[in-house]
Structure 1
Amino acid sequence: MSTSHAVSPDADTWVRLAPYRPCIVIPFYRHEQAITAVIDRLKPFGLDCWIVDDGSGEQSRGALHAIAAREASWVHLHQLAQNCGKGAAVMSGCACALARGYTHAVQIDADGQHNVADLPRLLECSRAQPHALVTGIPVFDASVPRVRFYGRYLTYFWVWVETLSFEIRDSMCGFRVYPLATTISVWNEGNVGRRMDFDTGIMVHMFWRGVRVLSVPTKVTYPADGVSHFRMLRDNLRLTWMHLRLLLGMGLRAPRLTLGRRRQ
């Protein structure tokens, strides 16, 4: 994928009345210890899957190629030449899926924290309202780090301010179902962050576009030997900058958002 924000094909040229065809997109960065188990748990659902290697390097390449060879009938490996960020990886996989005729993509993390048994519930909700963005709402167990658990509430507050709505109940869960054409169209506008700011940013921008956000509770577990790529200082600064930009964007959209709330 190039260093620009845009991905191809141009989503606006696609017919939006296509039959419902979901697939899976997994952004991957150095989670070679967990990805095999994630793929094994996803296999029974019978969905095509794109693993997007976000420039992980040689250490991960062997594990990914082994999976792609063993599960060649349904797993597709797409490799980025350099690390571009989670958002760029997700949207690169979504572009591959849209080009193959898929209408929706399930984003799921590669580290094994998401409960894949809830996949049918997310898809059922998405199939019933195919123009909506369906997202998981984490139900945490004792494994969640306390600082990350309470830190989410700060993001909840700012997202409610940025949308003038409580419709987005959680914007940070990486287990969700995207309507591909609309999502890629929003991404191509170039206003969504590429890294740890992606999950929240894309959801707020899609809400501003008029996309409904539907929520499904799902269990989230932090593996004891899991690898986190969140960098406390750098990524918190990036998230702060994201919320400042979203607040400015909300200011421009406030009259329309307020009118929409009154109509509801």
Structure 2
Amino acid sequence: MHNPCALIPVYNHEAAVPAVVRNLLDHGLPCLLVDDGSSPACAAVLAQLASLDNVSLLTLPTNQGKGAAVMAGFREAARLGFTHALQVDADGQHDLREVALFLDASRAHPDALICGYPEYDDSVPKGRLYARYLTHVWVWINSLSLQIRDSMCGFRIYPLPPVLTLMDSARIGKRMDFDSDIVVRLSWRNQPMRWLPTKVHYPADGLSHFRMVHDNALISSMHTRLFFGMLVRAPMILWRRWQA
């Protein structure tokens, strides 16, 4: 069974999110918005969008972070009867013309995590781009594999059953450390993954919640936790891969 939705965590992106929702609806995807403690102005926009057909809204009482919002959305999507969730950022940086390609890949491989690896244009902030290369190296070390082409791109289709199982048994990063943390932990469990290129653009007037010092420190702490977790699990990880 393949019954996907789009999952959009939102924190004060009231200017960009209506176009994202309309685009996803045009692709025939029901949308689940997760309001991560947004301002009253953004909450009003989300409430208006939720009045549209095939749009649902989950409201978190306080800001909990991107990862927490996505994970709350996974549980709500499963409760609503969806089997897969396409994670999409609310700020409009993802090229939604590629949604159909991702959906086709997910239908053909319903057990797989369908991951985007970004193709940037000149709008990408250079500091974030260089920090990304360091993250790639740590992710390859912590996953004991070169399989993960990019761990930080949030444009992915998740099969919900293995994700919910992981969430019930592991502490996953709740903020900007989420995307890398969950994909490494899924790789430890031999989760099938497929990778598709996706264009990424950072709008000049876009609102980013990435805090260069704080979030890079958070991501560094995540890599440290994953490293020691990998050391403990290394025999099991390698055994599972040998058995596959």
- TM-score range relative to shorter protein: over 0.9
Residues 44-193 of structure 1 aligned to structure 2 (within 5 Å): 44-69=26-51, 71=52, 73-193=53-173
Which structure 2 segments of 5+ residues have no match?
none
**Residue from 31, 34, 45 that aligns with 2:16:** 34
One-letter amino acid matched to 2:234 = A
Runs of 4+ in 1 over 2 A off after TM superposition: 256-264
Cα distance in 1 for partners of 2:225, 2:240 equals 22
One-letter amino acid matched to 1:144 = V
Cα distance in 2 for partners of 1:42, 1:261 equals 36
Cα distance in 2 for partners of 1:156, 1:252 equals 21
Cα distance in 1 for partners of 2:216, 2:128 equals 11
Cα distance in 2 for partners of 1:161, 1:110 equals 31
**CA offset digits 1:113-157 (Å, max 9, x no partner):** 001111111111112221111110101011111111121110100
Cα distance in 2 for partners of 1:227, 1:241 equals 25
Cα distance in 1 for partners of 2:181, 2:152 equals 9
Q: Is the 8 A contact 2:6 2:87 kept in 1?
A: yes
Residues 200-219 of structure 1 aligned to structure 2 (within 5 Å): 200-219=180-199
Q: How much does 1:260 deviate?
A: 4.8
**CA offset digits 1:143-193 (Å, max 9, x no partner):** 111111121110100000001111110010010000101101111223211
Q: How much does 1:194 deviate?
A: 0.5
Q: Is the 8 A contact 2:16 2:92 kept in 1?
A: yes
Q: How much does 1:242 deviate?
A: 0.4
TM-score (norm 2): 0.96
Q: SS of the counterpart of 1:254?
A: helix
Which structure 1 segments of 5+ residues have no match?
1-18
TM-score (norm 1): 0.89
One-letter amino acid matched to 1:65 = A
Cα distance in 1 for partners of 2:72, 2:242 equals 37
Q: How much does 1:263 deviate?
A: 6.0
**CA 1:119–1:252: 2 relative to 1, 3 Å:** same
What's the RMSD between the two structures over aligned residues?
1.3
Q: SS of the counterpart of 1:114?
A: coil
